[in-house]
Amino acid sequence: MRAETAGERRGTIVDLSHPVVDGMQVYPGDPEVRIAPALTVAADGVDVASIRMGSHAGTHVDAPSHSIEGGRTMADVALDELVGEALVVRVPGLSGGDAYGWRELEASGSLPERLPPIVLIDTGWAARFDTELALQHPALAADAARELQRRGMRVLAVDTLSPDPTGAADASFPVHEVVLGADGLIIENVRGLESLPAPVRVGFFPLRLAGDGAPVRAVAFLD
């Protein structure tokens, strides 16, 4: 019998992160992403880039302190909170600006009474990232987020700029208040969810920043 190699035992890793590039789309009002040469091989013997961006650029995690006064910062978030069993919930057919709630989530047919700690919502809107349409993404209803929490969700991941409407006239963030207010975590701007099975193991690996959030390398582990 042929022995397995280490690579075969590891299985497939799927990258769920948007590339971080100069000038990429950010949430309106956030610092722009600026990446430029600082040193070059020709002049300095090494290539080094200068990188300027906000803590919520690209695919990233929101710590509770992002919108909750006195909430935990990333310094208090353990990696094992961001790695584990997850459920992908598909909500297709949404239009720009749509709100979706528990009825739309239940239509996926994959919502057990007890959820894994990580829930990823696939609206298909990741394909619109870095376009004007990304700003008009669908938004989750706060009562649906509350029900996901009741069933065991601790980390909510979405394929949009936010689970709340972007640029809302009242500048409110009700889903952030529900999830972060219960000491949970939010991951925004994931991609590639359409390629995943509904039950899946995922990991979100943030830069070791001590603030209100951090860019992550988001991955799924497939057998």
Counting the structural domains of the chain, the total is 1
Distance CA 171, CA 154 (A): 24
**2-29 pLDDT per residue, tens:** 443 334 445 899 999 999 999 999 999 9
Which 8-state DSSP code applies to residue 150?
A: H
40 within a domain of the structure (yes/no):
no
36 within a domain of the structure (yes/no):
no
Q: Considering the chain, what is the average pLDDT of its residues?
A: 94
Q: Is the pLDDT of residue 220 over 70?
A: yes
**105-138 pLDDT per residue, tens:** 999 887 999 999 999 999 999 999 999 999 999 9
| CATH code, 92 | 3.50.30.50
Q: Is the pLDDT of residue 168 over 80?
A: no
- Per-residue 3-state assignment (H helix, E strand, C coil) for 46-110: CCEEEEECCCCCCCEEECHHHCCCCCCCHHHCCHHHCEEEEEEEECCCCCCCCEECHHHHHCCCC
Cβ pair 178, 146 in contact under 8 A:
yes
Which H/E stretch holds residue 175?
helix 174-181
Q: Tell me what percent of the residues of the chain surpass a pLDDT of 70.
A: 95
Distance CA 87, CA 201 (A): 8
165 within a domain of the structure (yes/no):
yes
Cβ pair 162, 27 in contact under 8 A:
yes
138 within a domain of the structure (yes/no):
yes
From residue 185, alpha-carbon distances to 109, 111, 157, 215 in Å are: 24, 20, 8, 13
Residue 98 is part of which domain span? 12-21+55-222
Band of pLDDT at residue 223, cut at 50, 70 and 90? confident
6 within a domain of the structure (yes/no):
no
17 within a domain of the structure (yes/no):
yes
pTM of the model: 0.94
31 within a domain of the structure (yes/no):
no
37 within a domain of the structure (yes/no):
no
